[in-house]
């Protein structure tokens, strides 16, 4: 990582891929989980409420990283990562 950039934990983000087209002026891709379930319920990161289990972060400037429908490769709840974190792999 660029040494001028710091990683700060605990961001209170508000990110979704479910904003109605008439509410924003730019193109927004659709949440694949919402698309699969034909809903608008799933949000990536909602301030003070939740973080989607498929949320893998963001890339500059506004690129969402999403792993749906696969288990999150970054989550500590992913057995693969749990093994690494436990020193079992
Ligand atoms: S992280 Fe992916 S699956 Fe989760 S709400 Fe965002 S776009 Fe949808």
User: Which residue lies with its CA nearest to atom 7 of ligand 1?
Assistant: 31
Pocket of ligand 1 (CB under 6 A): 17, 31-33, 42-44, 52, 54-55, 64, 66, 68
Distance 59 CA to ligand 1 centre (A): 14
CA proximity to 68, closest of 54, 50, 78: 54
Q: Could you tell me what percent of the chain has a pLDDT over 70?
A: 88
CB 29 within 8 A of CB 17: yes
Please state the domain extents for the chain: 21-85
Model pLDDT for residues 57-81, shown as the tens digit of each residue: 999 999 999 999 999 999 887 766 6
Helix H, strand E, coil C: the string for the chain is CCCCCCCCCCCCCCECCCCCHHHCCCCCCCCHHHHHHCCCCCCCEECCCEECCCEEEEECCCEEEECCCCCCCCCCCCHHHHHHHCCCC
CA of 67, closest atom in ligand 1? 2
Model pLDDT for residues 1-13, shown as the tens digit of each residue: 899 999 999 999 9
Confidence category of residue 85, pLDDT binned at 50, 70, 90? very low
Predicted TM-score (pTM) of this structure: 0.85
């Amino acid at each position: 990582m660029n040494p001028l950039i710091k990683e700060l934990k605990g961001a209170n983000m508000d990110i979704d891929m479910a904003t109605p087209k008439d509410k924003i002026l730019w193109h927004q891709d659709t949440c694949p989980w919402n698309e699969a379930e034909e809903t608008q319920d799933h949000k990536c990161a909602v301030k003070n409420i939740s973080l989607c289990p498929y949320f893998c972060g963001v890339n500059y400037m506004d690129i969402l990283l999403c792993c749906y429908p696969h288990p999150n490769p970054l989550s500590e709840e992913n057995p693969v990562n749990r093994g690494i974190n436990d020193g079992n792999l």
